[in-house]
Amino acid sequence: DIQMTQSPSSLSASVGDRVTITCRASQNIFNYLNWYQQKPGKAPQVLIYLASSLHSGVPSRFSGNGSGTDFTLTISSLQPDDFATYYCQQSYFTPPLTFGGGTKVEI
């Protein structure tokens, strides 16, 4: 099975900061990588699909990059609404669908 490793597991940042989260796959998944945002008590919501495509309605300050085994999610200027937990998920070798361990972005 593909293992997805996210780093860091948590980070502290301020409004206006540029934030980058990394996700690494244990095998080549090409660009079959999705990013989700989850707020406390809520279901996750897709932000980025196919590594770099912005889902409809997602602010342009979010961007995704990478291919193969190494991927990044960047928030160009952190906003108060962005404090949440972020997960990557590979969709190439499925099932099983595998998620990264999550990155909690907090103040």
Partner 1 sequence: EVQLVESGGGLIQPGGSLRLSCAASGFTVSNNYMIWVRQAPGKGLEWVSLIYAGGEVDYADSVKGRFTISRDNSKNTVYLEMNSLRVEDTAVYYCARIVTAIIMYWGQGTLVTVSS
* Residues of the shown chain interacting with partner 1 in the complex, contacts defined by CB under 8 A: 32, 34, 36, 38, 43-46, 49, 55, 87, 89, 91, 94-102
d(CA 66, CA 69): 8
CA dihedral of 10, 23, 87, 99, whole degrees rounded to 10? -120
Q: Rounded to the nearest whole angstrom, what is the least distance from the CB of residue 91 to partner 1 in the complex? A: 4
Q: Which of 13, 4, 12 shows the shortest CA–CA distance to 34?
A: 4
Nearer to partner 1, 17 or 26 (CB): 26
Q: Rounded to the nearest whole angstrom, what is the least distance from the CB of residue 96 to partner 1 in the complex? A: 5
Nearer to partner 1, 43 or 107 (CB): 43
Residue 75 · residue 82 · CB < 8 Å:
yes
Nearer to partner 1, 14 or 42 (CB): 42
- Token code pair at residue 8: 């860091």
Q: Rounded to the nearest whole angstrom, what is the least distance from the CB of residue 77 to partner 1 in the complex? A: 25
